[in-house]
Structure formats: structure tokens, C-alpha cells
Amino acid sequence: MPTLLITGANRGIGWGVARLLAERGWHVHATCRRPDRAEALQALAAAHAGRVTVHALELLDFAGIKRLGQRLEAAAIDVLFNNAGVMNMAQRRYDPALTIQDFGHTDAEDWTKVFQVNVIAPMKLAEALIEPIARSERKVIITATSVMGSIRLNKTGRWHHYRTTKAAVNQMMRGMAVELRPRGITCFPLHPGSVRTDMNFARAPLSIDESAAGIVRVIETAGPEQSGRYMMWNGEEMPW
């Protein structure tokens, strides 16, 4: 069966995708910051002993990313899904008062860290795992983006920290697709839909299970045709 490595697998969309693919027989390397607090993920690993492995990974720790790459250097990883991401560093749950990031209220330190987590860490992880990905059968790298990364669809402004990181993810994955095409590696950014998680509004239309089911279909059918495209959870494309 194929192997997935997914970041931020302890909650939200990452948890939904890790669980579904484990249930579908995939081998799953699930990363999270605090395995000791990731009860649901540990239960998943226990239920699928030998097929789900939990790794501690803080995405602000680039040396830690490198060490994970070294630990897995002999593995084959069919799909790397850079799922983990943040809207800001200050709080876990969505709070409009803290999150708006409009003109006049940007914060350079927060913005820099959000960029590190959402953009630089996915690149460093892809670099660290490139050989395990290249020797796998499917050879796919996906990074979570957002509708908020679309320049065409930006009609409201605000959320500068978050929007710019997701626009950067789009540009990065497009470039990665071009650079890694000669090695047969498929790369694309993926918008998971507007999903009811800690990050998003309670009124978002999709449940975690609905989004994860769509993402799993995209993952299981991903190939060169999707490379360099701005994909959505339901297999459709977003306008850049």
C-alpha cells in the first residue's frame, strides 16, 4: 500500500485525512508538535499498529525537519501532504478581533513566523524528503493553500499575513512542479475548502469529514496532470 507523510495530523483537516487514509490501508507517517497530547492520533496508531507512525515535528524548527528527513532516508513516501498551517501565531481558535490583519494592524514578527510555518517549512520538508518521494511509486507533493491565496478572488483585502503566505505557497508549488517534473514528481497547492475547524468560522460549509473525503480522492488520483495546478478539495481548479 502507498505511504503518506502528513503534517499537523493531530487535529482539523490533517487529522481527518490521516484517519481516512489509515482506514483505507495506507501507511501513514503522521506528524504533530506534541505526540504526548495527541490522544486521537495515538489511538489511531494503536488501532493500525505498524501502519501509522507518529513523529514529533515543530515546523519552526528547520533542524528538526532535517532530522526527520534523515530518519526516513531509506523509506519510500508516495505522498507528502504539507497540511499544517496557521492564520496567526497568537491564538489557536478563530477570533476576528485578532485575525483581521488589516492595513495599519500588521505585525512584522507574527507575519514572519506565519510565513515560516506556512511556506518555508513545507519547502524544507519537501527538500528533506525528496529522495524517499522520488523512489516511491506515486511521487506527489501537496501543500495546503487557501482560497485566500488567490489574487483574482481577493475582493475584500485584510488578512495580509495569511493571504500572502498562501499566495506564496501557490507560487512555490507552481515552481516546484516545473523543477521536479524531470524526476516525475507531481506538485500542487490544494485548497481544502472552507472547513469547520479551530482555524475557521463555525459557519464554514464543510465538515472535516467532507473535506477530508474530497482531499483523499484528490490524493488517490493525483498524477502529472494535476502538477502545477491550483487544486481544490473536490478536484476542481481555483483561479490564481
Contact 92, 33 (CB under 8 A): no
Q: What angle do CA 178, 179, 185 make, to 5 degrees?
A: 85
Rounded least distance, CB 89 to ligand NAP, Å:
8
144 binds ligand NAP (CB under 6 A): yes
Give just the sign of the alpha carbon dihedral 30, 109, 187, 128.
negative
Q: Which stretch binds ligand NAP (CB under 6 A): 102-110, 153-161, 187-195, 222-230?
A: 187-195
Nearer to ligand NAP, 93 or 105 (CB): 93
Rounded least distance, CB 218 to ligand NAP, Å:
13
Contacts of 201 (CB under 8 A, 6+ apart): 94, 194
| Other beta carbons less than 10 A from residue 98's beta carbon | 14
**Could you give the CA distance from residue 132 to residue 49 in angstroms, rounded to a whole number?**
22
- Which member of 197, 214, 226, 230 binds ligand NAP (CB under 6 A)? 197
Q: Which stretch binds ligand NAP (CB under 6 A): 20-28, 29-37, 62-70, 181-189?
A: 29-37
Nearer to ligand NAP, 181 or 194 (CB): 194
58 binds ligand NAP (CB under 6 A): yes
197's grid cell: 475547524
189 binds ligand NAP (CB under 6 A): no
- Which member of 13, 22, 123, 130 binds ligand NAP (CB under 6 A)? 13
Nearer to ligand NAP, 50 or 156 (CB): 156
- Which member of 192, 214, 233, 238 binds ligand NAP (CB under 6 A)? 192
Closest CA to 3 of 135, 122, 187: 135
- Which member of 20, 59, 215, 231 binds ligand NAP (CB under 6 A)? 59
Question: What is the footprint of ligand NAP within residues 213-232 (CB under 6 A)?
Answer: none
Nearer to ligand NAP, 33 or 181 (CB): 33
204 binds ligand NAP (CB under 6 A): yes
| Binding positions for ligand NAP, rule: CB under 6 A | 7-8, 10-14, 32-34, 57-60, 83-86, 92, 117, 144, 146, 191-192, 194-195, 197-200, 204
